[in-house]
Amino acid sequence: MINFIDVLIVIATIVGLANGYRRGFWLSFAQYLGLLVGVMLGAASARYVLDYLQINNATARPLGAVLVLVIGGSLGSSIGFAVGEPIRRQILRTGIHTSTDSVAGAALSAFAVLVMCWFLGLSFSRGPSPEIAQQIQRSALLRGLDTLAPRPPPFLASVQQVLSGVQFPPVFAGLEPTLPGALPIPTSVDTPGVNHAAQSVVKVSSLGCGGIVTGSGFPVGNGYVVTNAHVVSGTTSHTIQKPDGSTMRATVVFFDPERDVAVLFVPGFTGAGLTFGPAQRGTEGAVIGYPGGLGEKVVPAVVDGAVQAQGRDIYNQNLVTRQIFVLQANVHPGNSGGPLIDMQGRVLGMVFATSASDPNQAYALTDDEITPDIRDAQANPSPKDTSHYECAA
């Protein structure tokens, strides 16, 4: 179905055609080449400029990144115009190939506009505005372009993350695919199984990345606690806090940045591990964690279904495929690493991301996705210095 994003793309393409015809191929080529170089330089420097200016607000940071890219692109386009304009004047003066140059310029400009629309659409489909993200996700033209286009290289994928301002790792490398329909969230999860599981879920705090990174985790027995890799990446020391407020030191003994799984060993942590259970569409339960790094919170959840998601690792670099549950639940940063459980208190998966276009939609790694890492960690525990890795949260 056509929406206003599609209308904007059509208008932008028509304007691009007209301008390209007027400027011709060589002037258009020089300008777009300058624009590309300028945007790439702006993209390479955006994160450092924002860090230097200490712009960390979730809304201001994406806007600041856009401004840096606009400045870089404008400078590059101006330089490109200065180079290409004499060539266009020469073509007009001689009258040779004037029509060919104009038609080629129109085609090049239309193509460049569509590429820019696709890239910007892909970036802002993940935030920071849920309303705009929803419209982008529903755009028929952007979905068509995303089907034809290759996945952006890691460099551009990092730019997209800065523009979107999203704190969770990207679940999908492109636009969100057609996902299972949303089911109603249960009104109450006050069951003995849920209450018992909540007594075992811990807050994970890691020192580094300019402060303290917090997430959630759950025990799997013998002193081992599972959380997300992006919660501990780039940090130097780790602690867990139990629901009663007591804290214990922890050591990362397994780290998988592709699946986004980390396993911690906590000496003296004797709590029994939570058990795992199966899930299917309609399975009701809860997400347990520490949103915002504050107190423990239990929120109702329901599984919409399972999908194979092609996304990127926690550093937004390599393409990875994960088996995930799509669920309806009110999840926030800090819930990362917390369990998705059923009404009997069994772990169905581990929360690791949210949807940018639907505040009540979240994603969890399935039990089949995380149990191989848990087995490897318990069979071959080896302390990992996660400070050598980049910050990801």
Cis peptide before 192 (omega within 30 of 0): no
Phi, psi at residue 182, to the nearest 5°?
Answer: -70, 135
Domain(s) labelled CATH 2.40.10.120 in the chain stretch across 169-392
CA 280/CA 84 separation, integer angstroms: 59
Fold of 169-392: Thrombin, subunit H (2.40.10)
- Token pair in block for residue 281: 């569409």
- Token pair in block for residue 189: 């999860």
* Arithmetic mean of pLDDT, 258-281: 91
CA dihedral angle for residue 179, residue 183, residue 187, residue 193, rounded to 10 degrees: -70
Question: Is residue 348's pLDDT more than 90?
Answer: yes
- List, for residues 224-241, the tens digit of each pLDDT value: 999 999 999 999 999 999
Burial label for 243, CB within 10 Å (0-12, 13-18, 19+), is middle
Neighbour count for residue 374 (Cβ, 10 Å): 19
Between residues 36 and 338, the one the model is more confident about: 338
Question: Is residue 94's pLDDT more than 80?
Answer: no
CA 9/CA 86 separation, integer angstroms: 31
Q: How confident is the model at residue 59 (pLDDT cuts 50, 70, 90)?
A: low
pLDDT at position 189: 92
pLDDT at position 304: 93
Question: Is residue 65's pLDDT more than 90?
Answer: no
Positive or negative, the Cα torsion across 67, 72, 150, 353? negative
Q: How confident is the model at residue 160 (pLDDT cuts 50, 70, 90)?
A: low
CA 164/CA 254 separation, integer angstroms: 30
CA 113/CA 9 separation, integer angstroms: 8
Question: Is residue 131's pLDDT more than 80?
Answer: no
* Arithmetic mean of pLDDT, 112-118: 87
- List, for residues 164-182, the tens digit of each pLDDT value: 666 556 788 777 777 777 8
